[in-house]
Amino acid sequence: MPIAALAVALVTGLSGCSSLYSEGATAGAGIAGAAIAAKVTNNAAVATGIGLGAVAAARAGVQYSERVIHRNTQDSIAVAAGPLAVGAVAPWSITHSVPLEEDEHGRVTVSRTISAGQLDCKEIVFSVDKTATKNVPASSAFYVASICRDGSAWKWASAEPATERWGSLQ
């Protein structure tokens, strides 16, 4: 039964609302952890440790999946911006394979070349555009970031999540 509850929580989370996904995963892990603890021990401290471990693992999984989604979005912006000359504008978009967050789109331009040669980087300005709906007008939010060439590919160079190797320094 706890595994079924976890599955329901995870499937329910695929509605495009990451907070529902996060809470569903945490609740499912708590239920599963309690069921495992009840079968393994009668010691309250051990049971608490099992439950906390299950919840921590679920949160780590949610955070990992969110980082992957953000990295994919940032990579799609970098791919669109990489070949642009300063001042040129191109569209970008991302369609997520797992609908944990909304698909997004916008425009990107290169505002300046930061460096060239062996360290080829650009500063970009990009928008995240929201399409008008029945009750909400269209809108755009604008952001500044940096991208750099990594071999033949352009990659996100701003701190999060492209530099995950820095750990707590992000």
Burial per residue of 34-50, b for 16 or more beta-carbon CB atoms within 10 angstroms, e otherwise? bbbbeeeeeeeeebeeb
- Complete DSSP assignment for 44-101: HHHHHHHHHHHHHHHHHHHHHHHHHHHHHHHHHHHHHHTTPPBT-EEEEEE--SSTTS
Tokens of 163: 């530099």
Cβ 150 vs Cβ 157: under 8 Å: no
**Mean pLDDT score of the chain:** 74
Closest to 27 (Cα-Cα) out of 53, 4, 5, 60: 5
The three-state secondary structure class of 159 is coil
d(C-alpha 148, C-alpha 117), whole Å: 11
Tokens of 45: 């401290």
pTM over 0.85? The answer is no
Asked whether the predicted pLDDT for residue 67 surpasses 50, the reply is yes
d(C-alpha 146, C-alpha 78), whole Å: 9
Query: Which of 6-15, 20-29, 113-122 ranks highest by mean pLDDT?
Result: 113-122
Q: Which of 78-82, 131-135, 166-170 has the lowest mean pLDDT?
A: 166-170
Domain boundaries, the chain: 2-69, 84-169
Asked whether the predicted pLDDT for residue 159 surpasses 80, the reply is no
Query: Tokens 């609740």, residue?
Result: 27
Structure confidence by residue, pLDDT tens digits, 11-58: 444 444 455 455 555 555 555 555 565 566 666 666 667 666 766 776
